[in-house]
Chains A and B, each alone.
Chain A
């Protein structure tokens, strides 16, 4: 049973427009949510995170929104650039128990930004 879900396998947007990537989770025992960007045949790179006590975190063109009541978070990229084309993984951090600190990953969304 997936605890972190990214229901859109792919997303295509025009350069300069907004990209919105979505993520849902089922477990309330997460204290941080993270977004990673991954190019083919490379390791994921950390993009941005948000604490479960916040509802928004912004870093340059990237903003993450957290809706705890809906157990939903989203990553907004504005404006989108062709170099943003990659697979984006949503991850949630477990905050208690023996696996404290472990991350649970979604399956990823492949973003294509068209010039």
Chain B
């Protein structure tokens, strides 16, 4: 079946502009994660959605970052007034959940964001 998809694959934007990144998780996966990865660095957790529960936004680096998940499926990560330090690869992952414990995460190909 289809894996996790993300769009766009690449985004170049000017400092100060807003951007929207989209993630389509695997069908049936109730858990959805957003991560950020700078060049040569590890994964930085941003936000977690699980079913209809309130999302865990503890990883969002500033109030310029927000995310929503509509209908328990597609998610959009929005970055307002982009800054050069926002340049990174933004990865989305989804997983099944058993009880309160998610299974392994499947990653999308990522969106490479460059802020000029």
A binds B: no
Which residues of B line the A interface, CB within 8 A?
Answer: none
Which residues of A line the B interface, CB within 8 A?
Answer: none
